[in-house]
Every structure is written in structure tokens, then in C-alpha cells.
Structure 1
Amino acid sequence: MSAFRSGCVSLSKWRNRPLLHFLLFLIFATTLVCADRLPIQFNTFLEKMNQQFGPTRVVVARNWQTMLVQSQNKTEQQKILIVNDFFARNLRYRTDIQLWQQNDYWATPLETLGKGLGDCEDYAIAKYISLRALGIADSKLRLIYVKAQIGGPNSTQTQAHMVLGYFVTPNAQPLILDSLITKVLPAAKRTDLSPVFSFNSQGLWANNSTQSVANPTARLSRWRNIIEQTKLEGVMW
């Protein structure tokens, strides 16, 4: 112990040293973990990305990792805007039929970033997991199924759609992160969206209810599959 102490340098002397900053970056970059965060084992994630989609898509995955690491100390509002902007810049819209030859497929963030493509559910899931990794509590985030008005303000035509909602408090009006538009807007300004139900890893809510009505993994098999698959890809639920 005495030999160890004699070889140590006070952290105060290293506070502004590049090496210390680099070491701290490596600690957070390898595993994003703290009490409120959804930890991601990036060694596993990057290895699987390389195996499934090749080194070119590993670059995109590393960019995602860097964005998360660099956003750790931002405010929640800043984190929301940064994450929303990241996926707006790095993904393009594709239907499940075009991408997966299935009518409805929920992709993991690894699959979505690996393809660089996805539909509304894929955008919402990737943003949800990103914000959970940044320490935003699960109680503040819900994946929301809506009926989206299409064809203009006077149209009565709608289609099924998914967005991500951020709630400052349980009864607050959420901010909406959407794949249809790049702006993050309060729900009151999204008159083109009508909520049907919402969920996260803790509960499932009907319409605008404040009490969960079911276990989301029991009722939503695709959500259960997402949680099980992302565990294998390095997301430590």
C-alpha cells in the first residue's frame, strides 16, 4: 500500500491533463452506466455491428457512441434535441416491406444503425434507448402509438404511426420526437396526431390515461422481442 501511495499523483495535478480526459472518456465510452442510465456494452455492440453489417457501419455506431458520451452532462432538453438531430441526420425512412419484407418489424438500434434505414417504430425505439442511456428516467419517456393525419389539414385520412414522448412530469404535456418532422414540438402543436396507447419498459397506458393498464412485455410481443434482442447486442436492461 505504501509503495502504491508513493507512486500516485494527486488527481488535482491531473485535472486538466489530456491523458486523464482520455482515460475518463474510455471509461464512459466502453460502458455507459450509472444508477439512472440504461447501460450499453459498446464492445459487444461494435463487435456485433462489424459482424453483421461490416466496418463501414461500425463508423456510424462509433458516432452514436461518441454522441452519447459527449452528451452525458447536458440538460435533459439538450439531450432530447441532440438525440433527435442525430437520428434525423443518420437515418432515412424505409417501410418494413421494403427493408425487411414483413408487414410490421421492430428493429433494434443495432439493426437500424446497421442499415441506416428504418420506419417510425425504429426511429422511436432508437431514440428511446439513446435517451435512457443518457440517464433520462423511464418514467419520463413513452413510445406512443398514434393515428397520424395525412393528406393535409382538411383530410380525414389517417395512418398508424409511432412517436416518442418526453414527459417532464407524469401529467405534463409531452414533447414529441417524430420521424415525420425534424422539430421537437409540444403535443398541443401536433394536432395531426391522435394518441391511441403508449408504453415503456414499466407500463402500458391507453390513450391519455395516467395509470398503466398492463404489463408492456406481456401485451406487446414485439416490444418483448426488442428487449430480449438488445440484451444480446449489449443493452443491459
Structure 2
Amino acid sequence: MPIGGLSSSLIQGTARWLLLILLVATAAPVGTEESFVINERTLRLMEKRYGTGARTRLLGWQNLIQTTGGDDRAQLERVNRFFNAMAFVDDDIHWKKADYWATPIEFLASEGGDCEDFAIAKYFTLIKLGIAEDRLTLTYVKAVRLNKAHMVLTYYPSPGAEPLVLDNLIETIQPSSQRTDLLPVYSLNGSGLWLAKQRGKGKMIGDSDRLKRWRELLDRMTNEMEQEEEAP
């Protein structure tokens, strides 16, 4: 029987995606740092590849992380507004690939990406700002009006609480109960992969550091940092 009214084709697509789970070494933990500075080498590389606007956008991101304060809700609002200013571009057009998860640096430097890129950039930025990782999940949903799979970032004010939804489709952050246009499928973060249930975390079905695209994303983020530290 379809899950939450989802079509069999979407469920089959989800199943195929989950079959990409691979056995890999433990991914490097995602954590906060006392300061966040983008290396000049990276700025130059991104500027050369994407134009002078890339440097401006990346420095804007750096400034956001260095200066954003206030409670969790205030930080959610600022981060959501900052990234939602980027353009939505499908992967096959933007990256010439059927499905590509961009790092936050790639997303900002290229000035666009798809729903996964929006959600991933918000996720890592909020963690850099000190939001506990166990309060954040990247959640796959069915966008009812679009009739297609979609990713959003969800934030849990406390364990078991109703999550708030950060979405590139709309500007406002709303409780999940108000997003009746979204049907949850599954979610993930650095701690695990979950089968979504009743608009919240459900049964854990796998370890997210075994998920192929998640691992590839973390590897590229690590490589970006290693490239920054090489000879100028």
C-alpha cells in the first residue's frame, strides 16, 4: 500500500535510491568551529570558475556565520532567507548530471542549485552556528502541487516536538502540520537514515554514513578543505 498517499513510482524510486547504500569508512564528524574563514585560495578558485560574484557570495556566507546571533529561531530565519536568495536550477542543467549534491561552497559560488542543495547548505550552516545536529534532518517529501520528490530541512525545537520546515519553495518557516502540501518519505542527517512517519522522525532504517551521495558530499567537502591548504 502506498505510504502516506505516495505513488508506487515514487516509492520505487526511493527504494532504488536506498539500494545505493554502500559500506564505507566512518565519515568525518560534522561539528562547529570557533571561527569560520574561507581560505583565499578557495575564493580565488571559485572566482576564476564562476566569476567575481562567487567571491562576494562566499564572503557573504562567511559573514553570516561569523555574525549571526540570537536564539535558534532567529538563526533559522536568517539562514533560510540568505540561501533562498539563490536561484533554483535542475541538476541536469546546472551540473550536467541526473542527481548531484553540491557542497555549500559549490552551491553559493555557482549561484544556484536544486532543492537538495538548498537544504544541505542550510543544514551545514546551522551546525556551524551551533545548532545541535540532532535537531536537524534533511527530509525527502513529495511536493503535492508539483507532483515530484523534493527535499527540505526540518528543525526540531526539542526531542519529539513538531518540526519546523525550511523550504526553498516558500519564504516562511512553518510547522510541519501547516505544510499539508508536503508528504514526508524519509529523512537523514549525520546520525542516521529514517523512514518518515507522521511528519516527524520515524523508524531508523540505516546509517547515513553508508549512503552513497551523503558520503560523496562529505568527501568533497573534505577535499575542498585539503585543496585550500595546498600551495597557493
Normalising by the smaller structure, the TM-score range is: 0.7 to 0.9
* Structure-1 residue corresponding to 2:215: 224
* Structure-2 residue corresponding to 1:31: none
1:63 matches 2:60 = yes
Q: How does 1:33-182 map to 2 (within 5 A)?
A: 37=32, 40-43=36-39, 45-71=42-68, 73-89=69-85, 91-150=86-145, 158-182=147-171
Give TM-score scaled by structure 2 length: 0.77
Paired residues in the alignment total 192
Equivalent residue in structure 2 for 1:200, among 184, 189, 192: 189
Q: Deviations over 1:15-51 (max 9, x none)?
A: xxxxxxxxxxxxxxxxxxxx96267552164354235
1:191 matches 2:183 = no
Change (3 A) 1:42 1:224: same
- Runs of 4 or more consecutive aligned structure 1 residues displaced over 3 Å after TM superposition: 38-41
**Unaligned regions of 5+ residues in structure 1, if any?**
1-34, 152-157
What percent identity do the matched residue pairs reach?
38
| Superposed displacement of residue 103, structure 1 | 1.6
Q: Matched residues in 2 for 1:47 and 1:212: separation?
A: 42
Report the 3-state secondary structure (helix = DSSP H, G, I; strand = E; otherwise coil) of the residue aligned with 2:84.
helix
Q: Matched residues in 2 for 1:49 and 1:129: separation?
A: 19
Q: CA RMSD in A?
A: 2.0
Amino acid in the other structure paired with 2:204? S
Amino acid in the other structure paired with 1:128? Y
Q: Matched residues in 1 for 2:37 and 2:64: separation?
A: 15
Q: Deviations over 1:96-148 (max 9, x none)?
A: 11111222111111111111011100000010011011010110000000011
Q: Deviations over 1:53-91 (max 9, x none)?
A: 3433111100111111110x32111000000000122x0
Please say which structure displays the higher CA radius of gyration.
1
Q: Matched residues in 1 for 2:193 and 2:55: separation?
A: 34
Kept in 1: contact 2:36–2:62 (CA 8 A): no
Q: Matched residues in 2 for 1:36 and 1:94: separation?
A: 29
Kept in 2: contact 1:96–1:102 (CA 8 A): yes
Report the 3-state secondary structure (helix = DSSP H, G, I; strand = E; otherwise coil) of the residue aligned with 1:46.
helix
Kept in 1: contact 2:141–2:152 (CA 8 A): yes
Q: Matched residues in 2 for 1:192 and 1:55: separation?
A: 38
